[in-house]
Structure 1
Amino acid sequence: MKEVKIESKLSVFDDFNELPPDVAKLMENAIEARHNAYAPYSKFLVGAAILLDNGEVVTGNNQENASYPSGLCAERTAIYYAGAKFPNAKILKMALTAGSQIQTTKTPIPPCGACRQAIAEYEFKQDDPIEIYFMGETGKVVKSDSLANLLPLGFDKSFL
């Protein structure tokens, strides 16, 4: 047997004000999208904003449904819209923000597993990493240079 160590490297900004101006603008788009989320059941609002290499910014937010599995996360809403509307554009950066209507969310909230897999698909498709920034409502912002930091040993079409 051989033991393998897997490491991830993330950058942490103390707060929104430390972000580079272009990322701050993208996060503002994600915050605006979060405010438009439809989450009457969980009361947990998520917003996503994606910057494409053609300069377009695509946003998404979580959309819940009384039949829980029928809802869709903000990240997948945005990434699938980007793929449908701009199929040849590459995703450069994603900004994600999440907040509860019950309590203030101060902890950076990363994408869920299903969203990580969807982002991985697009990163693999474009053969370029996607920068991902995520935060709660306030507080620290985490940056990952690639989805691979958040989903090591990812599943892709090479396994099929």
Structure 2
Amino acid sequence: MPEKIVFSTTANLYKNENLLPNNGKMLIEKAREACQGAYSPYSNFCVGAALILEDGEVVTGANQENAAYPSGLCAERSAIYWAGANHKGKKIKAIAVTAHRTGEDKFLAVSPCGSCRQAMLEYEHIQEGNIEVLLESDGGVLVFPSVASLLPLQFDKKSL
């Protein structure tokens, strides 16, 4: 008989974005604004991400689709790669992610895809420190203490 193993994670749920600590409310607002930069004519699903660096600078990204799928890029990787290329050595403190459908004002619960989780985890490892993750949800904003908490079975340089 196999042994059962349970993987779990913990997040804080803030039912009102005004209750978010640190720069949380501002990051959610910046992620919402970033949705305006989405190019999503195929999915009609606009995703925005905003991250804050250790010096307080905010970097945003939006999903970019392409008819030659999978040539597009998610909002999270768009933002994190920009920060990595243009702010080398600066630590990322937190990232916020949200989405909405084209033509709708309601923001939706969204979670990073596996590729984005893996890319964000790489930066968490590079900087040797946690990146807090804020996800807009149906009940408010979920705040995870790290990217690693979203990816319990990690693949990293030690796996090679």
TM over 0.5: yes
Render the CA deviation track for 1:113-142: whole Å, top value 9, x for unaligned.
110000010111111111000115x75211
Q: Is the 8 A contact 1:108 1:142 kept in 2?
A: no
Q: Is the 8 A contact 1:131 1:143 kept in 2?
A: yes
Residue 114 of structure 2 is aligned to residue 141 of structure 1:
no
SS in 1 for 2:7: coil
How many residues were matched structurally? 159
SS in 2 for 1:68: coil
Q: CA deviation at 1:27?
A: 1.3
Q: CA deviation at 1:92?
A: 0.3
RMSD of the TM alignment (CA)?
1.8
SS in 2 for 1:135: strand
Q: Is the 8 A contact 2:16 2:141 kept in 1?
A: yes
Q: What letter is aligned with 2:153?
A: L
The verdict on how the C-alpha distance between 1:62 and 1:106 changes in structure 2, with shifts beyond 3 A counting, is closer
Render the CA deviation track for 1:40-68: whole Å, top value 9, x for unaligned.
11000000011011221110000011112
The verdict on how the C-alpha distance between 1:21 and 1:88 changes in structure 2, with shifts beyond 3 A counting, is closer
TM-score, length-scaled by structure 1: 0.91
Which contiguous aligned blocks of 4+ residues in structure 1 show a shift greater than 4 angstroms? 102-107
Residue 57 of structure 2 is aligned to residue 56 of structure 1:
yes
TM-score, length-scaled by structure 2: 0.91
The verdict on how the C-alpha distance between 1:21 and 1:54 changes in structure 2, with shifts beyond 3 A counting, is closer
Matched residue, 2:71: 70
Q: CA deviation at 1:147?
A: 1.0
SS in 2 for 1:70: coil
The verdict on how the C-alpha distance between 1:33 and 1:19 changes in structure 2, with shifts beyond 3 A counting, is same
Q: Is the 8 A contact 2:33 2:48 kept in 1?
A: yes
Gaps of 5+ in 2: none
Q: Is the 8 A contact 1:36 1:61 kept in 2?
A: yes
Matched residue, 2:153: 153
Q: Is the 8 A contact 1:107 1:139 kept in 2?
A: no
Q: What is the distance in 2 between the residues matched to 1:106 and 1:82?
A: 25
Q: What is the distance in 2 between the residues matched to 1:21 and 1:100?
A: 28
Matched residue, 1:124: 125
